[in-house]
Copies of this chain bind each other. A is one copy, B any other.
């Protein structure tokens, strides 16, 4: 019988010699091997599962076999009765006792810093390394011979069992401490938040008698129109549910600036808007919790991204300064604060983390996009565009990042368009126009058939045709341009009225009839000259903003384009480029980034290092303020043409036959002279 045994862990390759009788968890801890445990070896949490690799490992000069792990214990049997049988002959690392040489595999799920691959959320792997963790401890009972407060003994247990120092407890914890300790018979699970009160601090923010299975976090993206949240298990990173809701602030104003105006006109209106959005977030949290079968009280951590106006309103900061130059943010720094202070109905001591803002109109949402997209990690020059009523734009690579916002207005969201509406069932979202007949076909959200399909009438009947949404507008205007119905200046060609009656004269201009409503009051959708003009204004603003950033980096082309947000997920990038929303780029390198801002919030929720990372990156992003850049106006005027007055689109030209530019003078000037 030998007294020591050799144990080799994979994937780390760490190895060491231990006395027979040492637990595998203990050996892993001593070697600094990444093996998870919440209960600290009490056989309660099941996180430390390991597997024995049997065979001869000549490299390590050992023969490993499963008998060297000892017999399965009654603690493991109890765990399996409650939680199900272990897969593949796994054992609890805390119960498996070293009896001889061993090669031990640590499955990914048993690693503390495991990687999470979340394809559905469109982002790179996330390391699970949350700010809040659970720890089980046995606290020493009070002793009259050596009196000390219960808190002191709790801290001692956390230090001895888990090496935690710099521990703080707020009044909320003190008020429940004594009862919880006694209820748990001096065994409690503690939720500890790292670095909340500064570097190297550990704040006790939750306390439960005995063993607490899991705690949760929510990552929330507060957009002007919608609020979206992901609910996660903070230990495993598993997304249990995602939910979205309308931002109820819409009743105070459709877009950001109209909400700021509302505050200017109605002092105290910001308080009402803050109240409305917090209530909506509480509803969303309640909904996604119910959906996921958990209690909101078990949510210990929340992260938020938002554009600057939403960011301020979320915090109860009057956004009025963002309504005019110099667009001063109250703060551009990241924030960590108690959820209760914001009125969020989760665990009473839960914590909120808001990502930093970049500048006056480039918010924490853009920080979220950057965190999720990581342009600073690439050699290729990435253009990140989050289109909303204000487009937030980032351009750069590992050498340099620049950002700006551009006031695109709400046209891309279907507002200020005659037949426009939000993306909802019944909205026209896809359009094709036959360049010969000038006849259109289209499809609506909620139906897969095109309007020229005989099945369309029946399929679309369920939802009806209710208007046209942002992506539909882009497509119809681009198709009108490709079909020659409008020229590169955006002017509807009235001469075509002779060829197809869909081109109709209205006073001095023309319009194109896309969809004629039924006699009994259905919606008729026409694309008017003014609709085209609105799209021109919006896309010129977007392009001019992008162009300013390209100027700043002194580049003439970008390598890749990522479109963040709902708009980016729905538009056909080819049409967007035909209209010149975006600069020329290999179309295979243009794609949707999904809800990248929300993904950034999720990364900050699950990995506290991601917070430090984005805080550092944001400070290095150079801000370009379009309002004070002399070139912006010139870029804007040139970008009014389809796809652009001067810029060439060679990559686009490879896949689309663009009409020749019109020789007419720019539309805008003509309009000015007309009026």
Which residues of A does B touch, CB under 8 Å?
141-152, 166, 169-171, 174-175, 177-179, 197-198, 201, 315-318, 320-321, 325-333, 335, 337, 341-342, 357, 359-360, 623, 625, 627-628
Task: Say what secondary structure dominates the interface of chain A.
Answer: loop
Chain B proximity of A226: nearest CB distance (Å):
25
Given A149-B357, A337-B170: A328 touches B198 (CB 8 Å cut-off): no
- Interface residue from B151, B175, B333 paired with A152 (Cβ < 8 Å): B333
Alpha-carbon gap, A485 to B179, bound state (A): 52
Identify the closest chain B residue to A332 (Cβ): B149
- Interface residue from B151, B316, B326, B330 paired with A151 (Cβ < 8 Å): B330
| Chain B residues positioned under 8 Å from A357 (CB to CB) | 149
Residue in A144, A146, A150 with the greatest tally of chain B CB atoms within 10 Å: A144
Q: Is A330 a contact of B197 with CB atoms below 8 Å?
A: no
Q: Is A147 a contact of B625 with CB atoms below 8 Å?
A: yes
Chain B proximity of A353: nearest CB distance (Å):
13
8 closest A-B pairs (Cβ-Cβ)?
A142-B328, A149-B332, A151-B331, A149-B331, A149-B329, A147-B359, A142-B326, A144-B625
- Interface residue from B150, B152, B166, B321 paired with A178 (Cβ < 8 Å): B321
| Chain B residues positioned under 8 Å from A315 (CB to CB) | 171, 174-175
Identify the closest chain B residue to A147 (Cβ): B359
Q: Is A178 a contact of B330 with CB atoms below 8 Å?
A: yes
Alpha-carbon gap, A315 to B627, bound state (A): 53
| Chain B residues positioned under 8 Å from A332 (CB to CB) | 147-149, 151-152
Chain B proximity of A124: nearest CB distance (Å):
29
- Would you give 22 A-B contacts (Cβ < 8 Å), ordered by A? A142-B328, A144-B627, A145-B628, A147-B623, A147-B625, A149-B329, A149-B333, A150-B331, A151-B332, A151-B333, A152-B331, A152-B333, A166-B198, A170-B341, A171-B335, A171-B337, A174-B330, A175-B316, A175-B317, A178-B317, A178-B321, A198-B201
Alpha-carbon gap, A177 to B628, bound state (A): 25
Chain B proximity of A439: nearest CB distance (Å):
50
Alpha-carbon gap, A330 to B154, bound state (A): 10
Alpha-carbon gap, A148 to B326, bound state (A): 10
| Chain B residues positioned under 8 Å from A329 (CB to CB) | 147-150
Q: Is A179 a contact of B318 with CB atoms below 8 Å?
A: yes
| Chain B residues positioned under 8 Å from A144 (CB to CB) | 325-327, 360, 625, 627-628
Chain B proximity of A292: nearest CB distance (Å):
29
| Chain B residues positioned under 8 Å from A146 (CB to CB) | 623
Q: Is B198 a contact of A331 with CB atoms below 8 Å?
A: no
Alpha-carbon gap, A146 to B360, bound state (A): 10
Residue in A141, A198, A315 with the greatest tally of chain B CB atoms within 10 Å: A198
Chain B proximity of A638: nearest CB distance (Å):
23
Identify the closest chain B residue to A170 (Cβ): B337
Chain B proximity of A80: nearest CB distance (Å):
38
Given A144-B327, A144-B625, A325-B144: A317 touches B149 (CB 8 Å cut-off): no
Chain B proximity of A252: nearest CB distance (Å):
19
Chain B proximity of A317: nearest CB distance (Å):
6
Given A171-B315, A198-B198: A178 touches B328 (CB 8 Å cut-off): yes
Chain B proximity of A99: nearest CB distance (Å):
42
Residue in A148, A152, A166, A201 with the greatest tally of chain B CB atoms within 10 Å: A148
Residue in A147, A325, A333 with the greatest tally of chain B CB atoms within 10 Å: A147
Chain B proximity of A354: nearest CB distance (Å):
11
Alpha-carbon gap, A149 to B308, bound state (A): 11
Alpha-carbon gap, A345 to B580, bound state (A): 60
| Chain B residues positioned under 8 Å from A360 (CB to CB) | 144, 147
Apart from A144-B326, A144-B625: 11 A-B pairs, beta carbons within 8 A: A142-B327, A144-B360, A147-B329, A148-B332, A149-B328, A149-B331, A150-B331, A170-B337, A174-B331, A175-B317, A177-B317
Chain B proximity of A142: nearest CB distance (Å):
4
Q: Is A341 a contact of B145 with CB atoms below 8 Å?
A: no
Chain B proximity of A663: nearest CB distance (Å):
38
| Chain B residues positioned under 8 Å from A320 (CB to CB) | 178
Chain B proximity of A235: nearest CB distance (Å):
27
| Chain B residues positioned under 8 Å from A145 (CB to CB) | 625, 628
| Chain B residues positioned under 8 Å from A623 (CB to CB) | 146-147
| Chain B residues positioned under 8 Å from A197 (CB to CB) | 197-198
Alpha-carbon gap, A359 to B141, bound state (A): 15
| Chain B residues positioned under 8 Å from A327 (CB to CB) | 142, 144, 147
Alpha-carbon gap, A160 to B196, bound state (A): 26
Chain B proximity of A321: nearest CB distance (Å):
5
| Chain B residues positioned under 8 Å from A150 (CB to CB) | 321, 328-331
Identify the closest chain B residue to A342 (Cβ): B171
Identify the closest chain B residue to A274 (Cβ): B175
Alpha-carbon gap, A169 to B177, bound state (A): 29
Identify the closest chain B residue to A153 (Cβ): B328
| Chain B residues positioned under 8 Å from A326 (CB to CB) | 141-144, 147
Residue in A150, A331, A627 with the greatest tally of chain B CB atoms within 10 Å: A331
Q: Is B147 a contact of A178 with CB atoms below 8 Å?
A: no
| Chain B residues positioned under 8 Å from A147 (CB to CB) | 326-329, 332, 359-360, 623, 625
Chain B proximity of A658: nearest CB distance (Å):
37
| Chain B residues positioned under 8 Å from A152 (CB to CB) | 331-333
Given A149-B331, A150-B331: A174 touches B317 (CB 8 Å cut-off): yes
Q: Is B171 a contact of A316 with CB atoms below 8 Å?
A: yes
